[in-house]
Chain A
């Protein structure tokens, strides 16, 4: 799934979800920074991570609550720079979600694809 067109590939892994808003934004803005540095970047959402992509939640939470930008701002900053967002079916099931519950553009992969992305990435960064 890496295009190999960039000089470096970074895979971020987000395991935290909407119950811990203070942990929701950092993977997106680090991913956005990496994309701005001409890296190829993906974020894989597993465990509670997929809840951050719920289309009914991205405007309701943010890392600083009412005092800062909503989660949608950080998501769109990353995707606007070409960051790809990935989920897998078991972690959707864990959170009783389907792909239709999520914002547009999220890609479905499985464990084998995740492991292959990790092996071929230059860095894997987990939250």
Chain B
């Protein structure tokens, strides 16, 4: 993710369990303009497959998932 763009907004879902990171991400991405980037912070162990499925289904672009310590950093660009 070294080449990833900086996020326009950060959504902290650390400590929250499925399905809250998905639901809050869906709500947060709708508040961004097309092309803007959301950074999701989450500790739910299922967040990586969940965000791959969510972005594949919604068409938003998953730029990268990086685990630092216990926290997943997920970068998503609003595509539509």
The secondary structure that dominates the B interface is: helix
Q: Whole-angstrom distance between the alpha carbons of A36 and B18 in the complex? A: 12
Which of chain B's residues 6-47 have a Cβ closer than 8 Å to chain A?
Answer: 18-19, 22-23, 25-27
Q: Whole-angstrom distance between the alpha carbons of A29 and B23 in the complex? A: 10
Instruction: Report the interface size class on chain A.
Output: 10 to 19
Scoring A29, A33, A38 by chain B CB atoms within 10 A of each residue's CB, the highest score goes to A33
* Interface status of B68 (Cβ within 8 A of chain A): no
Q: Which A residues contact B (CB, under 8 angstroms)? A: 7-8, 29-30, 32-33, 36-39, 77, 81
Given contacts A32-B19, A33-B18, A36-B54, 7 further A-B contacts (CB under 8 A): A29-B18, A32-B23, A33-B19, A36-B22, A36-B26, A37-B22, A37-B26
